[in-house]
Amino acid sequence: MHATTSPDTSRRLSEEHAAIVAETLPVIGAHINQITPIFYRTMFANHPELEKDLFNRGNQKDGDQQKALAASIAVFATMLVDPNAPDPVDMLARIGHKHVSLGVTREQYQIVHDNLFAAIVEVLGEAITPEVAAAWDEVYWIMADCLIDYEANLYDSAGVEHGDVFRTVTVTDKKSLPGGAIEITITGKLATPLPGQYTSLGVTLPDGARQLRQYSIIAGDDSTWTVALDVVGEVSKHLDQAVAVGDTIQATLPAGDLTLTPGNRPVVLISSGIGATPMVGMLNHLAAEASIRPVTYWHVDDDASTHALAAHTQAAIADNPHITFTPIYRQAGQRLTLSGDCGCGGTDCGKNLRDADVYLCGGTGFLQNMREQIAALPADQQPATVSYELFSPNDWLIR
């Protein structure tokens, strides 16, 4: 699933509601991290099937999902009342892709609305007058309608009914990778992914819950996909310990906006840990096309023994003189610095970003550091585009 247009963020609040939201945003913003846990608790009490079969329980337990929701609401509301605030179009695109990868439909936005506003009233009480409620109701539906329309485009791009993204697939291969990661190959009636996209794999856990987690597709066509994953969390551990070759699981049609942009610009791939997975998907695509685009790939890991996709990377770049790959191992004292001596044996690495399409994937701290380093590069070393993926709710990225 992929849209050729971005989410439409042009709609604005009525003048009356804009004034109310601007006045009350500091209060609601200050309490949003109290509101969101109550919202999820209330919604799951009213709709236990959502906690059991849709939302990732690990993200709920560690609070990541609550923080992501709080940040997205605050960012979107700020954009509506502050003409100098950045347009959260990239945030909305990421959310939209996550939603379609879980089969979210228009009807579920009403459920979220009702339980979210109940939580707001519970926390703020009499401060939520009918006028304040109406203003924030408009904020919610502007954001919701923007996402609903974008997600409809994504579903339509795949030619499927909205929400109809789950497919039953058979595990046809399973291998161990360095560092304790695993590789799983699945086969079924799928769709050819764009390079860099992911799928949600669904498994039924011993307590009967259908839990989902998203994994990048490192190689695939319309019938066979290979994913690689760290064995962390309920779904990954179940895939490792309880799913064998020949078993059936669920997979959703491919989604994700971290995709290789066609064209002739140089490509720079930067990843850490299991964040290498979408990069390997892109490298495999470039290899299949016999691309002559100049590609620079830096991957950061603890050491060679934990570099899960080292062999996959080497296979993808073999015999392609246009790709430069440099592994950077922390335990060897190496660091990736995007200007001057990067610690990986090269110099002036930042110049390799000039006018390039840059793709980032890794943990939160790693991505924060890379984004800060890119922002600090001189104007004549800035990339043309920067795209990124994070394997958890990404509240910090949307601020």
What are the domain boundaries of the chain? 15-157, 166-252, 267-398
| Identical fold, 166-252 and 267-398 | no
Percent residues over pLDDT 70 in the chain: 93
Rounded to the nearest integer, the mean pLDDT of the chain is 90
Which range has highest mean pLDDT (63-77, 167-181, 343-357, 362-376)? 167-181
Q: Please say if 138 is a catalytic residue.
A: no
From 21-25, 64-68, 222-226, the region with the lowest mean pLDDT: 64-68
Q: How confident is the model at residue 344 (pLDDT cuts 50, 70, 90)?
A: low
Range 267-398 has CATH code 3.40.50.2300: no
- CATH homologous superfamily of 15-157 equals Globins (1.10.490.10)
Find where tokens 């089969």 sit: 103
Of the residues 40, 51, 109, 215, which is catalytic?
A: 109
The average pLDDT across 98-104 equals 94
Residue-level pLDDT at 305: 94
Of the residues 151, 215, 297, 388, which is catalytic?
A: 151
Q: How confident is the model at residue 45 (pLDDT cuts 50, 70, 90)?
A: very high
75 close to 385: Cβ distance less than 8 angstroms:
no
Element holding 48 (H helix, E strand): helix 48-53
Q: Give me 324's structure tokens.
A: 């430069």
Per-residue pLDDT tens for 241-254? 999 999 999 999 99
Q: How confident is the model at residue 209 (pLDDT cuts 50, 70, 90)?
A: confident
Query: 166-252, which class in CATH?
Result: mainly beta
Per-residue pLDDT tens for 295-334? 999 999 999 999 999 999 999 999 888 999 999 999 988 8
Percent residues over pLDDT 90 in the chain: 67
- The yes-or-no verdict on residue 91 having pLDDT over 60 is yes
377 close to 350: Cβ distance less than 8 angstroms:
yes
Q: Please say if 51 is a catalytic residue.
A: no
| CB-based burial, 18-52: b 16+ in 10 Å, e otherwise | bebbbebbeebeebbebbbbbbbebbbeeeeebbb
Distance separating alpha carbons of residues 361 and 373, to the nearest angstrom: 15
Other beta carbons within 10 Å of 311: 11
Q: Detail the DSSP E strand segments found in the chain.
A: 166-176, 182-187, 198-204, 210-220, 224-229, 248-252, 267-272, 295-301, 323-329, 357-361, 385-389
